[in-house]
Every structure is written in C-alpha cells, then in structure tokens.
Amino acid sequence: MSQIDIEKLSDEEVLPLIKVDKNFFGVLIRRYENRIIGYVKKMGAESQETAEDMAQNIFIKVYVHINSFKKELKFSTWLYGIARNECIDYWRKNKKHAGNISLEASEELMAILKSDEDLALDLERKITAEDVRVAIGSLPKKYKEIIILRFLEDRTYEDIAMILKKPISSVGTLVRRARILFKESILNSKR
Amino acid sequence: MNLDKKVLDKIERENIRMIPGWFFVLKNVFLNACWVIAFLGSAVSFAMLLEWSNADAKLATFWSIGFILLSFISFKSAWRINFKALYKYGFAAMIAFLSFGSAMGFAIYSSKETGNIEIYMEKIPVYKSISPEEVKEFNSEEILENQNVEIKDGSTDLGIDRNETDTNPDITKEADDEKSGEIENKKLLKVEDDGKELEDDDERTTERKVMDQKEDGEDEDNDDGEDLIETEPQVKGMEKERESSAGENEVKSDEDESFKSDTGDANDEEE
C-alpha cells in the first residue's frame, strides 16, 4: 500500500493496520501531534518541551491500549480522553501549574471569545491576553476544561461528553455556567 | 518536530507492546463478576444480620428505605453516563447494587416462617394476626359444621368413610379424640333442639352398634397377635363411643328407650 493511499484512510481504518505493522502508527501521530501539543499547552503545560514530552506519553499510551478502542467511538475523541487523563496526572504532580494556560493560548482564546456573540456584546474590547489568562486561571478546573475544549479545540457537545464522561445535557449546563463565570471573572479582573 | 519518529523509536527501543484484546475482555468479565459477588454477598449478609438481630420494625424499615433511596439516586447518576463510568463512580454504584440487593434479600428472608414478616404486617391497620387459641376455636367450629352436614345428609365426615374409620385404628383414635368432650356435648344440645336430627342420630347410633357387634365377632375369630394389638385402640374407641351414646340415651326421651329395647341383646351382652 503506497503512502498516498494510507493518508486517504480514516483514523478508524488505519487502526487495524497498526496491529500488523507499528510503523502505520506514525500516520496517526502526524495527523494529531500539533493538536495534542496545543491542547496540552492550553491545559497547563509550562513549556514546549513539557508539552512534547506529554504528547509523546499520550501517543505511547494510545499504542499500548489500542486493542481497547471501541468502534462506536471516534478516534479523536478517544485520543482527547487519553490526553485529558495525562493532563490530570500532570496537574497532580505539578500543582502550581494547574490553573495556568500559556500566553499564546490566552491570546487565541481572547480572539475567539471576542467573536462569541453572547460575550462580545458585554465584554469590553480593551481586555488583554493577560486578563484572559488570569480569568481562566481563576476558574475551577472543570470550567477551564470546558472552555478549552469548546472554544479553543472547537469540539462538539457530543465529543466533550465522551471525553469528560458526562451526559450531553450536563455538558450544555457546564458550558453555560463556564461562560457566565468567565465573564464575571474577566470583568472583576478589569475592575 | 518529528514526534512520530520519537514515539516509534521509543516503542522500538523499550520494546513496548500493545496489550492484547483478550486481556480487556477478561478484565471486564472479572470486574463484572466482582460486582455480582459483592451484590449477592452483601444482600445475604445484610438480610442475615437483620434476621439475627431481631431488629425493630421501624429501624429495619428505615435502613431499607434509606438504602433504597440512596442507591436509586447514586445508581441513576452513575448509570446514565455510560457503563464504563460505573467503575469511575464505583462507590456510588456499589451502594446502589448492594442496598437494592439487601432490601430484596431482607424481604425474601422475612417472607419465610421466621415471624419477622408479622412485625411488618401488624403495622398495617387492616391486618390482624390470629392467636393459636383463635385458630383452635376456628378449627373446632369448622369440624362441628362438617359434623352437622354429615348428620343431615348421612354422608361421610370429611370424605372419610364411617365404616373405614371404625375399622382403621388410627382414624378411630383421631375421631374419638376429636369427638369426645365438647363436640359431643354440643352435638347433643343441637340434637335436643331439633327432633328430626335426634331421630336420625339415634338411627345412626343403632346402625353403628350393629356394625360394631358384627366386627367384634369377626375380630374374636382372629387369633393373630398383630390383629389383637391393632384392635385394642379400636375397642377403646368403640367403648368410649358407646358410653357417650349411653349418656345420650339417658338424657333422651322415652323414644330412645324403645330403640334400646330393639337392640337390647347386643347392649346387654356388652354391659
């Protein structure tokens, strides 16, 4: 099978090939490495090197547990679930970095939130990336996770529900509360 | 960046292998088996504890209802996510399983003849437990009713043939015990009230006496020891009956004496 053909295959179609030859796993790593590193950084990885190390651990865990993957799930959702668990482990080991997101991530988040219809009407346009970073840092972990997954990673409610192992209705409630809390937090930081 | 190369090199270098699929299947089977064992074991143990402790009805009810409510809330919250999350919310799910099982086990144990179900039943205003004395009274009244039916219809008592009861020592013993005393007295009083019944009864007693005499004659012919042993209670029963019938005849009117004279030979011999 040529390289071009493999690239055209979906994630779920590549998985059985990995069981035959582990080199096919490189295809999936190439597809997701940037997204996973970005996600890990947003979730509190203190540096690029740390994020890469975490991403490496995540992919190795994926390889080891590949036989436990269920066909009814999307591979990306399963991958994000493993990445989330890795981030939680990281938070436990490094408590001082638990609430922080990188400045780069906060800038990205600020751009997204300003375009958000619900928030753009109320929020002052003068807020900076630092304000967003502080506001995110002050949020409880579960709301922080929700904001990252929903606004920065642009995951659907169904995906978030699978990643967080919560019902979709709960995810909707969490997103709504996270928005309100974030708005309050950012307004408080401006005052 | 070349993260893919790094990862593949690490897998190659450290000889990392993927966990086989059967391991996950076995893991699920093992965990589910643990759930089932925990559920059954705790249900039985909880029921046994309540059973042995003779717990007050209110206390037992409180625990059972409390556990059921708690289990319902926790189990619902755990189950609606997905089955895998049951392991995450293992404690809540375990309470759910165990408490529901415990309540069920308690209900099963209480429904046995241990008396605990009475504690619950007596709390229900409609229900009233029956004391053993009341049960005896009820049974004796029922026997009397059957006796009356027999007298009127001339049918057998509780489906047992009268002749059979006379010849079978076991049945005659029981019959004598039951019919002696109060039952016979009540029967007498009833017969006094109703003339027809009195006549029927007298006819019946005379018939029975004739039958007894015949049977006595047959028994005397038998020389077997076993037969003699068997006939002893029968003879005693018959004697009792005759005494009671003699008592009846004394109380009764002159009509009875005429009956006596009809069967006089047999009675004189016995006396």
Instruction: Report pLDDT for B247.
Output: 52
Please name every residue paired with B160 in a beta bridge, in sequence order, or none if there are none.
Answer: B157
Instruction: Report pLDDT for A44.
Output: 77
Q: Residue B192 and residue A114: Cα distance in Å, rounded?
A: 110
**Residue A99 CB: number of other CB atoms within 10 A?**
17
Q: Residue B247 and residue B256: Cα distance in Å, rounded?
A: 11
Across the interface, which of A30, A63, A68 has its CB nearest the CB of B11?
Answer: A63
The C-alpha of B102 sits at a distance from chain A's nearest C-alpha, in angstroms, of: 29
| Long-range Cβ pairs for the range B165-171 (8 Å, 24+) | B166/B208, B166/B211, B166/B212, B166/B215, B166/B234, B166/B238, B167/B215, B167/B234, B169/B230, B169/B231, B169/B232, B169/B233, B169/B234, B169/B237
Q: State the virtual CA torsion across B49, B50, B51, B53 in degrees, nearest 10.
A: 80
Q: Residue A158 and residue A67: Cα distance in Å, rounded?
A: 23
Q: Does A16 touch chain B (CB under 8 A)?
A: no
Instruction: Report pLDDT for B263.
Output: 44
From the list A175, A153, A174, the residue with the least C-alpha distance to A80 is A153
Token reading at A31: 């597809």
Max avg pLDDT among B6-10, B26-30, B60-64, B108-112: B6-10
Amino acid (1-letter code) at residue A41: K
Q: In Å, how far are A44, A85, A160, B153 from A79, measured between CA atoms?
A: 18, 10, 12, 90
Confidence of residue A87 (pLDDT cuts 50, 70, 90): confident
Q: Residue B231 and residue B237: Cα distance in Å, rounded?
A: 10
Q: Residue B247 and residue B191: Cα distance in Å, rounded?
A: 13
A-chain CB neighbours of B3 within 8 Å are 29, 33, 37, 52, 55-56, 59
Instruction: Report pLDDT for A121.
Output: 47
- With an 8 Å Cβ cutoff, are B7 and A19 in contact? no
Max avg pLDDT among A132-141, B20-29, B119-128: B20-29
Among all residues of chain B, which has the CA nearest to that of A36?
B3
Residue B144 pLDDT more than 80? no
- With an 8 Å Cβ cutoff, are B7 and A63 in contact? yes
For chain A, what is the mean pLDDT? 80
The mean per-residue pLDDT over the stretch B52-58 comes to 62
Please name every residue paired with B157 in a beta bridge, in sequence order, or none if there are none.
Answer: B160
Q: Residue B145 and residue B257: Cα distance in Å, rounded?
A: 28
Q: Residue B134 and residue B129: Cα distance in Å, rounded?
A: 10
Instruction: Report pLDDT for A144.
Output: 85
| Least confident segment among A111-115, B55-59, B66-70, B230-234 | B230-234
Residue A175 pLDDT more than 80? yes
Residue A14 pLDDT more than 50? yes
Q: Which residue is it, tokens 């490094």?
A: A94
pLDDT digits (tens, 9 = 90+) for B197-223: 555 556 666 666 666 666 665 554 444
The radius of gyration of chain A from alpha carbons, rounded to an integer in Å, stands at 18
- With an 8 Å Cβ cutoff, are A23 and B8 in contact? yes
Residue B136 pLDDT more than 60? yes
Q: Does A3 touch chain B (CB under 8 A)?
A: no
pLDDT digits (tens, 9 = 90+) for A17-74: 888 888 888 888 999 988 899 888 888 777 888 888 999 999 999 999 999 888 888 8
Residue A177 pLDDT more than 70? yes
Token reading at B82: 């997905």
Amino acid (1-letter code) at residue A72: E
Contact A55, A90 (CB under 8 A): no
Confidence of residue B253 (pLDDT cuts 50, 70, 90): very low
Instruction: Report pLDDT for B209.
Output: 65
Contact A109, A64 (CB under 8 A): no
The mean per-residue pLDDT over the stretch B165-180 comes to 54
Across the interface, which of A23, A68, A165 has its CB nearest the CB of B85?
Answer: A165
Tell me, yes or no, if the pTM score tops 0.90: no
A-chain CB neighbours of B8 within 8 Å are 22-23, 25-26, 29
